């Protein structure tokens, strides 16, 4: 019986890791299935651009995985049962269960629960392609009115800043306001903060700092200080969170629902489960948890590849880098900020701004898309056989044994 590897999620991390595993492991004794809710690869880093009006490429996952031997299941994951080693899925045919021997959990994150009254009912977001398209339709409608319109972006994290500046540049007929809970660009260096403020001024944006939102209504945003902001389209970007499914399934998670993993991205509670990207609580080389980001997805994905291949084939597991060194922020199409950070996650004094930073960010996005669309490019074609006949129950027992070796093979 072949060893069943099931990958949940085909975002930046999941799609890339699945492709590499398919190249490095022999199909004679391994079987890889990818489960994703939609049939396309979603460029999440560009969803704010999609909402603002740009055409964003969405490659078909069937084309991405063509020739790899990977099985694609277009379905929504509804539950994970690590004790029975199955995942429940729902699709147009009713769904069912998929059994696994090794599970790679890469379901990412979504927009944070909108606990503020009215936010869920009246605000838009750019956390997923459907929601970004709904915002785009709303902005198109405001443009067709010919009377302009007022857009309020709530949240001054990277997504909020990128969304507000992209909308302001792409749709100059709209009035854009950005609501920041604290100081605008507080995590940036002093020079980068000044650059950000100048960009907002250049784009004609209104910035409200040290402002908390208490409620969202259909046509306005109510702030804690009594200010009422007229809004024809409110965009909610105040944080991201992971699905509670992992916690519900019994996996050990942090308070925010991320799966707790060891240095090799392996669940500390269930050794045949690996987590990467936003779904994982991974500790970087600096001793701090890696932030939710595309960069973290890449680093955790590469580590998971080495761990899974190493354990299944009986080879030594290599520790890859787990670092976070930059924040890349686009400020429309021709401006941006590249902010280096130190080992404590604090902004370094120097930064890169303007067109050069915008080109770097665009290059990162293009590279990420290409790498995801060609997951096996440049990887040696030699496929390694498993060390022994696959036996998930034996691996599970060995991992929990007091003298279990971190390098034990399946």
The tokens for 375 are 């997951």
Alpha carbon of residue 20 to chain centroid: 19
What's the whole-number mean pLDDT along residues 76-102? 95
Summarised one tens digit per residue, pLDDT across range 289-329 is 998 888 888 899 999 999 999 999 999 999 999 998 888 99
Give the pLDDT of residue 380. 59
- Do the Cβ atoms of 316 and 408 come closer than 8 Å? no
| pLDDT of amino acid 1 | 86
24 HSE (CA, 13 A, CB side):
22
What is the rounded CA–CA span in Å between residue 70 and residue 402?
A: 35
% pLDDT > 70, the chain: 92
pLDDT, position 401: 41
More confident residue, 367 or 62: 62
Task: Tell me the pLDDT tens digit for each residue of 375-405.
Answer: 776 665 667 778 864 444 444 444 434 333 3
Closest CA to 44 of 147, 127, 112, 154: 127
pTM: 0.88
Residue 113 has a pLDDT of 58
Q: For residue 230, what pLDDT is reported? A: 96
**Residue-level length of the chain:** 410
Among 180-184, 272-276, 368-372, the range scoring the smallest mean pLDDT is 368-372
Q: In whole numbers, what is the pLDDT of the chain averaged over residues?
A: 89
Residue 52's closest CA among 163, 179, 199, 152?
163
């Amino acid at each position: 019986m072949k060893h069943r590897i099931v990958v949940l999620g085909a975002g930046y991390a999941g799609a890339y890791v699945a492709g590499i595993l398919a190249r490095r492991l022999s199909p004679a004794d391994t079987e890889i299935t990818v489960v994703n809710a939609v049939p396309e690869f979603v460029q999440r880093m560009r969803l704010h651009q999609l909402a603002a009006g740009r055409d964003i490429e969405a490659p078909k996952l069937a084309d991405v995985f063509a020739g790899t031997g990977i099985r694609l299941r277009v379905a929504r994951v509804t539950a994970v049962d690590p004790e029975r080693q199955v995942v429940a899925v729902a699709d147009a045919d009713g769904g069912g269960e998929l059994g696994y021997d090794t599970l790679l959990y890469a379901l990412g994150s979504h927009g944070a629960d909108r606990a503020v009254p009215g936010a869920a009912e009246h605000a838009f977001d750019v956390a997923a392609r459907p929601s970004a398209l709904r915002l785009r339709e709303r902005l198109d409608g405001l443009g067709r009115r010919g009377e302009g319109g007022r857009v309020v972006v709530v949240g001054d994290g990277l997504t909020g800043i990128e969304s507000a500046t992209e909308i302001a540049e792409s749709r100059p007929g709209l009035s854009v306001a950005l609501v920041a809970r604290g100081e605008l660009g507080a995590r940036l260096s002093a020079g980068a903060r000044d650059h950000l403020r100048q960009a907002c001024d250049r784009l004609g944006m209104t910035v409200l700092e040290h402002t908390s939102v208490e409620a969202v209504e259909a046509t306005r945003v109510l702030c804690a200080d009594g200010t009422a902001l007229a809004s024809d389209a409110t965009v909610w970007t105040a944080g991201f969170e992971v699905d509670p499914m992992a916690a519900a399934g019994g996996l050990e998670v942090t308070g925010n629902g991320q799966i707790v993993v060891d240095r090799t991205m392996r669940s500390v509670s269930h050794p045949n489960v690996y987590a990467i990207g936003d779904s994982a609580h991974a500790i970087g080389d600096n001793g701090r948890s890696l932030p939710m980001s595309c960069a973290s997805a890449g680093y955790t994905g590469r580590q998971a590849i080495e761990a899974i291949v190493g354990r299944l084939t009986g080879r030594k597991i290599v520790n890859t880098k787990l670092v976070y060194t930059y924040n890349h922020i686009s400020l429309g199409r021709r401006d941006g900020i590249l902010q280096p950070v130190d080992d404590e996650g604090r902004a370094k004094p120097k930064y890169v701004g303007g067109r050069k930073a915008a080109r770097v960010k665009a290059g990162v996005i293009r590279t990420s898309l290409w790498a995801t669309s060609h997951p096996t490019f440049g990887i040696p074609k030699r496929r390694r056989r498993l060390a022994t006949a696959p036996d998930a129950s034996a691996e599970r027992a060995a991992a929990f044994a007091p003298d279990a070796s971190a390098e034990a093979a399946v």
